[in-house]
Amino acid sequence: MQQKYLEQTKQELRLRNYSFKTIKAYLGCLREYFDFKKFNLEKIDEENIKQFLLNKQSRNYSSQTINLYLNTINFSTAKY
């Protein structure tokens, strides 16, 4: 299931002409979020997203990196 979402996201990013490095970064962030969530990937869980971002913050990730994770999750959950 995870691979399906990653492929869909990759395809949409390519259609929108995102750069190779941006696509690579988004897919890496999304993979980490899916590993954190572990199950029920099709359900958007706001509380789970908050916990994921707070976990990154507690590990002293920069605000830019946390925003990258948030933007990636927003992009992947938005209706194309």
Mean pLDDT in consecutive groups of 10 residues from the start of the chain, 80 residues: 89 96 96 87 83 96 97 83
Which of 5, 62, 12 lies closest to 33 in space, CA to CA?
A: 5
Name the burial class of residue 76, with classes exposed (0-12), middle (13-18) and buried (19+) by CB atoms within 10 angstroms of its CB: buried
Domain residue ranges in the chain: 2-77
Q: What is the average pLDDT score of the chain?
A: 91
pLDDT at 79: 59
> Cα 53 to the chain's mean position, in Å?
11
pTM of the predicted protein model? 0.86
20-37 and 2-15 are packed helices; what angle lies between their axes, rounded to 10 degrees? 150
- Find out if CATH 1.10.150.130 is the number for domain 2-77: yes
